Amino acid sequence: MPKPKTKILVLLTDGISLRNFAYTSFYKKGLQNNVDIVFWNNTTFNLKDLGINEIELSNSRLHKYTTILKNVRKRIELNCYKKRFNDPIYLRYSFSLPFNSLKNIVKSIITKLLIVLFNSEKGLRFIRNKINKLESSTAYFQSCKALLEVYKPDLVYCTSQRSALAIAPVLAAKSLDIPTVGFIYSWDNLPKATLDVQTDTYHVWSNYMKKELLKYQPFVIENQVCVTGTPQFEPHFYSDSILSKSTFYERYNLNVNTTYLCYSGDDVTTSPKDPLYLRDVASALRTLNLKGHNLGLIFRRCPVDVTKRYDEILNEFKDVITPIAPIWKTKGQVWNTIFPTFEDSILLATLASHTAIVINLGSSMVFDYAIHNKPCMFMNYNYFNAEEKPKKGVYVYNYVHFRSKPSEDAVVWLNHPKEIAEKIENLLNNPDKTVKAAQDWFNVVNQKEPVPALASDRILQNINKLISKH
């Protein structure tokens, strides 16, 4: 008699989760291992176009007070981290509350009052419990519960721990004694107090992240955490899909005699002066080309940055810069309705394969390039003064996740525009030390991947283990 299929619902709430679980081998490997995977889809992206089974996450609406309490919870938690670890850096993860309309003024005042009233470890636990109670009282919760009662999955897998819209479905599963697993989807998330969804088990990238989860969330115990790695980097191993150098150059009208670097743009919030960095790098390449080099710069903008802020620089440096836009699809008017595509995952892997260096401000692209034995350079000066003169140092490098690097040599630090040309020239001639240090860093934040697609295997193995124990 054939073994009955394991049924899991994969809760999908955003584009990053789409990239990690729909565009990798996760779905295919599940089917190969007798796991019936259905995506519980709350995005506007139609997964049926990819041949993936999906159920719409209907009636998805938060309780009217949840958004306020989520902001309160995060700020109180960051205050607790500051006190618990005697480190003010945690307060930098709090963005300013909006006061740009009457509605936002009221919400922000209420938020501030609640923070004052509950600003303690005990208050933090109260707010967490209150959010769960509110979400359990919604029509959304009831519709999730009704679907689960009909579908009867063996497990619910939450692909993002920071999506408030995932709280009700997870609570509904718990109410029916269905095991739940949450994936911590980014290497920098845990110090930012982004654990909005509490599940029975957590999947993390590495032992480093496991220690972080136990450190920041005392209610989580060690046997609730499983190190799986992340499927995020899997497309870099799809050698049959990555474009050959000749095809890549032909498709994007690149010069076959030119060595290209990649400038990876950041979002407006993280790097408001990003066009000036792009200008400085392009200017450095012009200087090197006058010395006899033949270098070009491919500009890949941040996929959710649809502003025109780079247009002037792109026009001024047409001789140096070739923009290659990310292949994302727009399904709405705001940033979280812009979704990645499988084609873009392959484009990113192709860029890393055929460009010599990636340059950016603190991006995880350092790891994408390390996989391909390519080095990274970090912008390490700012233009935050009124004269827009470069000043060494960027505050983002004080963030906790940058402390995970075992060596400062994991990237080449660009401390001033005047040193960019020389450092690029040196790195092109001697990349090995930087690449090795970057790979060592990658092996700290992510479970080492000796073969492609191992993260999907580990995730599915742990899912089966949890179901067999239940």
d(CA 111, CA 92): 18
Could you report the per-residue pLDDT of 418-466, keeping only the tens digit for each?
Answer: 999 999 999 999 999 999 999 999 999 998 765 555 899 999 999 999 9
SS3 string of 407-463? CHHHCEEECCHHHHHHHHHHHHHCCHHHHHHHHHHHHHHCCCCCCCCHHHHHHHHHH
- Asked if residue 42 lies in contact with residue 48, where contact means CB atoms within 8 angstroms, the answer is no
N-to-C CA span, the chain: 22
383-404: pLDDT as tens digits = 987 667 899 999 999 999 999 9
What is the pLDDT, as a whole number, of residue 144?
Answer: 97
For 57-66, what is the mean pLDDT?
A: 92
Number of C-alpha atoms within 13 angstroms, CB side, residue 353?
Answer: 21
H/E run at residue 9: strand 6-12
- Beta carbons of 79 and 119 less than 8 angstroms apart: yes
Q: What share of the chain has pLDDT > 70, as a percent?
A: 96
- Report the phi/psi class of residue 362: left, alpha or beta, with left for phi > 0 and alpha for psi in -120 to 50: left
Q: Of 41-45, 223-227, 429-433, which gets the smallest average pLDDT? A: 41-45
Q: Higher model confidence: residue 157 or residue 328?
A: 157
Question: What single-letter amino acid sits at 26?
Answer: F
Average pLDDT of the segment spanning 339-357: 95
Which residue ranges form the domains of the chain, and what is each CATH number? 6-61+138-230+451-469 (3.40.50.2000), 66-134 (no CATH), 237-445 (3.40.50.2000)
pLDDT for residue 43: 86
**Amino acid occupying residue 201:** T
pLDDT at 62: 96
Q: Which amino acid is at 75?
A: R
| Burial of 202 from C-beta contacts in 10 A (0-12 / 13-18 / 19+) | buried
